[in-house]
């Protein structure tokens, strides 16, 4: 008896169907052997082996250090032997550029199914990168690729596969990029990396919703998931770790894209222009990403709406978070924004995920609504709860110390709530737009 399995979602059916009733895809059902016949092909039972953890050597001292400190910081100090890293990001954000710059001193095999050797070399020449330690391959069949890597594993330090969506296995009857192909290829690559202690970096695509393309199993198989993000029209780039078995997931790496490629950013106020005069709707948010205090400029604009449902346009902060803050302001300040369109933007094309940005968003919103500039050279940091309270931000003491070192005149946080309330009264007492 045959069983038909959807290659996209693995829905099973006793008969072939044109459209999968689970995922809605067409022509994805493939005939497979029944479970009864599959059992006869299973391998023999392997003996159960035990190793005392105390006798296992730590891998922390064996990390490969790249040419970019910001890249190593996000990974937890470097690349561990046998680690499988998944790097994703929007097309054109600079993933390949980041890898070429970071790995140029390591003995690397660069497997590409998207670019030719000439294209990779042209990019390296344009960025003035010496790829003397690189080997290039366009073999995307995973069995042939791993067989070749096994022969030269003593001469290389790292493997880059760009991208995993172009790799396929000869054992799976489906095109490259299919869910079944991604799972099988990633599984073989992961087993190879662990067995030979050879680190592998997989470049992955993302969907139009911003999620990693392919099954969620892909993220479970790898040791680290990195996301390289940034607007195409902005020169700032941020590297985040969504998963990291060998380090923290709250560290970020900050880069700026220039003619010669990516340059690390160490200045905590690189995202703001401190020479500009105060203006209504402008606020400086102080947040801690990982262990680094950073400061971002928020700009908010409120204008009378011409629509039945006012618009909420948000860029750089969470849309649902803005809706929550608007509801809190309405409840506890009796401030209704039903007659105003609200536009919020983080300057620089970056995204702030920390809830410490709440106080800055609320302050800039009130400032724009009442056309009242906030105090010059002031910084806001704090999470706003549903009951209207201002809660301490993550590593708040460290952030306040850095704010004082950078000569910010006023610091509004949960530690000085009387000053926050005084500023709030000053803003609401001013002449309103309405």
Do 108 and 244 belong to one domain? yes
Q: Which residue, of 233, 264, 295, is where some domain finishes?
A: 264
pLDDT reported for residue 230: 81
pTM of the predicted structure, to 2 decimals:
0.78
- Give me the pLDDT at residue 371, please: 92
- Mean pLDDT, the chain, integer: 87
Q: Which residue, 88, 283, 310, is CA-closest to 204?
A: 88
The span from the first CA to the last CA of the chain, in angstroms, equals 74
Domain assignment present for 45? no
Mean pLDDT of 409-428: 87
Task: Confirm whether 410 is domain-assigned.
Answer: yes
What local confidence, expressed as pLDDT, does residue 39 receive?
44
Domain that holds residue 18: 2-37
Segment 349-372 shows an average pLDDT of: 92
pLDDT tens digits along 190-202: 999 999 999 999 9
- Residues 90, 8 share a domain: no
Q: pLDDT for 10-48, tens place per residue?
A: 777 878 888 888 878 888 888 775 544 444 455 678 788
Q: What is the pLDDT of residue 43?
A: 64
What is the share, in percent, of the chain residues with pLDDT greater than 70?
Answer: 94
Does 64 fall in a domain? yes
Per-residue pLDDT at 61: 64
Number of domains into which the chain is organized:
3
249, pLDDT greater than 70: yes
User: Do residue 20 and residue 117 come from a single domain?
Assistant: no
CATH number of the structural domain spanning residue 64: 3.40.50.300
Query: Per residue in 141-188, pLDDT tens?
Result: 999 999 999 999 999 999 999 989 999 999 988 888 888 899 999 999
Q: What is the pLDDT of residue 305?
A: 92
Does 47 fall in a domain?
no
Same domain, residue pair 209 and 310: no
For residues 327 and 211, state if they share a domain: no
Same domain, 189 and 231: yes
- Could you tell me if residue 434 is inside a domain? no
Instruction: Order the strands of the 12-13 sheet from edge to edge.
Output: 12-13, 2-6, 29-33
Residue 297 domain-assigned (yes or no): yes
Residue 93 lies in a domain: yes
Shared-domain flag, residues 179 and 290? no
Confidence label for 363 from pLDDT (cuts 50, 70 and 90): very high
Boundary (domain end) residue, out of 236, 264, 292:
264
State whether 233 and 102 are in the same domain: yes
Higher pLDDT, 305 or 434: 305
Residue 433 has pLDDT above 80, yes or no: no
Q: Is the pLDDT of residue 269 over 70?
A: yes
**Per-residue pLDDT tens over the stretch 295-311:** 999 999 999 999 989 99
Q: Same domain, yes or no, for 27 and 88? A: no
Average pLDDT of the segment spanning 333-357? 90
pLDDT of residue 95 exceeding 70, the answer is yes
- The CATH number given to whatever domain includes residue 424 is 3.30.230.10
The pair of structure tokens assigned to 3 is 């069983």
Tell me, yes or no, whether 31 and 68 share the same domain.
no
| Judgement on whether residues 151 and 299 belong to the same structural domain of the protein | no
pLDDT at 290: 77
For residues 244 and 332, state if they share a domain: no
Backbone angles phi, psi at 137, to 5 degrees: -145, 145
Q: Please report whether residue 43 resides in a domain.
A: no
Please check whether residue 158 is in contact with residue 200, taking contact to mean a CB–CB distance below 8 angstroms: yes
């Amino acid at each position: 008896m045959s069983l038909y399995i959807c290659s996209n979602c693995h829905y099973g059916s006793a008969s072939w169907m044109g459209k999968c009733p689970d995922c809605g895809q067409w022509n994805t059902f493939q005939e497979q052997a029944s479970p009864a016949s599959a059992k006869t092909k299973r391998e023999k039972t392997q003996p159960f082996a035990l190793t005392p953890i105390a006798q296992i050597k730590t891998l922390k001292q064996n990390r490969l250090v790249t040419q970019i400190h910001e890249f190593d910081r996000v990974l937890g100090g470097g690349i561990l032997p046998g680690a499988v890293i998944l790097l994703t990001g929007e097309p054109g954000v600079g993933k390949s550029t980041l890898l070429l710059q970071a790995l140029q001193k390591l003995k690397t095999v660069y497997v590409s199914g998207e670019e030719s050797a000439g294209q990779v070399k042209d990019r390296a020449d344009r960025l003035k990168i010496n790829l003397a330690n690189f080997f290039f391959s366009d073999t995307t069949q995973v069995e042939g690729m791993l067989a070749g890597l096994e022969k030269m594993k003593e001469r290389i330090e790292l493997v880059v596969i760009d991208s995993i969506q172009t790799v396929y296995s000869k054992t799976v009857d489906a095109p490259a990029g299919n869910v079944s192909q991604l799972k099988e290829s990633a599984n073989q690559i992961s087993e190879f990396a662990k067995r030979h202690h050879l680190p592998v970096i997989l470049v992955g695509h993302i969907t139009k919703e911003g999620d990693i393309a392919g099954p969620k199993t892909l993220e479970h198989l790898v040791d680290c998931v990195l996301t390289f993000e940034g607007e195409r029209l902005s020169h700032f780039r941020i590297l985040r770790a969504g998963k990291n078995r060998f380090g923290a997931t709250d560290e970020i790496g900050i880069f700026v894209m220039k003619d010669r490629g990516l340059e690390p950013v160490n200045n905590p106020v690189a995202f703001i222009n401190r020479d500009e005069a105060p203006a209504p709707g402008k606020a400086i948010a102080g947040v801690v990403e990982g262990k680094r205090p950073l400061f971002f400029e928020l700009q908010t604009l409120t204008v009378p709406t011409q629509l039945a449902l006012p618009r909420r346009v948000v860029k750089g902060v969470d849309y649902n978070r803005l809706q929550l803050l608007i509801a809190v302001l309405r409840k506890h300040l009796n401030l209704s924004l039903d007659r105003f369109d609200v536009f919020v933007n983080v300057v620089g094309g970056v995204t702030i995920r920390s809830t410490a940005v709440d106080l800055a968003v609320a302050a800039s919103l009130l400032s724009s609504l009442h056309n009242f500039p906030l105090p010059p050279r002031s910084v806001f940091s704090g999470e706003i709860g549903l009951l209207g309270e201002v809660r301490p931000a993550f590593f708040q003491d460290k952030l306040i110390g850095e704010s004082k070192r950078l000569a910010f005149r006023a610091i509004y946080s949960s530690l000085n709530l009387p000053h926050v309330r005084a500023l709030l009264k000053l803003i609401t007492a001013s002449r309103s737009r309405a």
